[in-house]
Structure 1
């Protein structure tokens, strides 16, 4: 996958988010870390796994809320004009939850997705995954 200069790359799982910007060009991907606001993990997940006596998994509910919070932040970035192109790399479970919260404007800016957990990996591993996609 070739990414234009300035593309935002979000690398996430249910507990951590790393943002990068492509400081290279389409021919030469070069990711640079980007600062981001704290993720509001108090946002309610999609509802597919809510806590109850029949489903007491508070950890999964927390991860779903974090994933929804990531997308809320990305949606705001797109709507505010701060994100021109976006690639989302996330653990498969987190990516599935994130997709449920995409705004139409975010979907229009989405250049690609990679369903892989790369949050603890090096920038070169992330770049390799994008180039292979």
Structure 2
């Protein structure tokens, strides 16, 4: 069982929002304090794209094939994970936290794992594969505690 010790950082994120929380108490009665919230604007791909998908000449006379356009919405989600990984590295390098719990959907956790520096991964004590960014803090406290107890 992993415990949610005092001063453990809990980072709750999806691909567009992040909550930086710090546990003020102990595992028995966690009290997560919001240190910072951040949300990026990520409009739908249709709103971000400027051009129609391209077409390319095929081998046959008068034939053309459609080309996939860049999915700007999805690209921004991947960049969000990379930006968050950089932020966590900077905070770890400053010594801002010694223990870290990551709470994110499985897809976002995968993107984060790929981008995190060793200095950050060495401080991760648990990962919770759930999307909790729109939950009240009290629910996040209870759900994270429950997940850590069952791990």
> TM-score interval w.r.t. the shorter chain?
0.7 to 0.9
The TM-score with structure 2 as length reference comes to 0.73
Question: What is the SS of the residue equivalent to 1:129?
Answer: helix
User: SS where residue 35 of structure 1 aligns?
Assistant: strand
90, 108, 114: which one pairs with 1:94? 108
Segments of 5+ residues of structure 1 without an aligned counterpart are: 42-51
CA RMSD, 1 decimal? 2.2
Is 1:16 paired with 2:30? no
Aligned length, in residue pairs: 122
TM-score in terms of structure 1 length: 0.82
SS of 1:100 mapped into structure 2 = helix
Task: Provide the rounded CA distance (Å) in 1 between the counterparts of 2:86 and 2:76.
Answer: 15
Larger Rg, first or second structure (1 or 2) = 2
Distance 1:36 1:117, change over 3 A: closer
Alignment of 1:1-133 (within 5 A): 1-35=2-36, 53-54=67-68, 56-133=70-147
Segments ≥4 residues shifted beyond 4 Å: 36-39
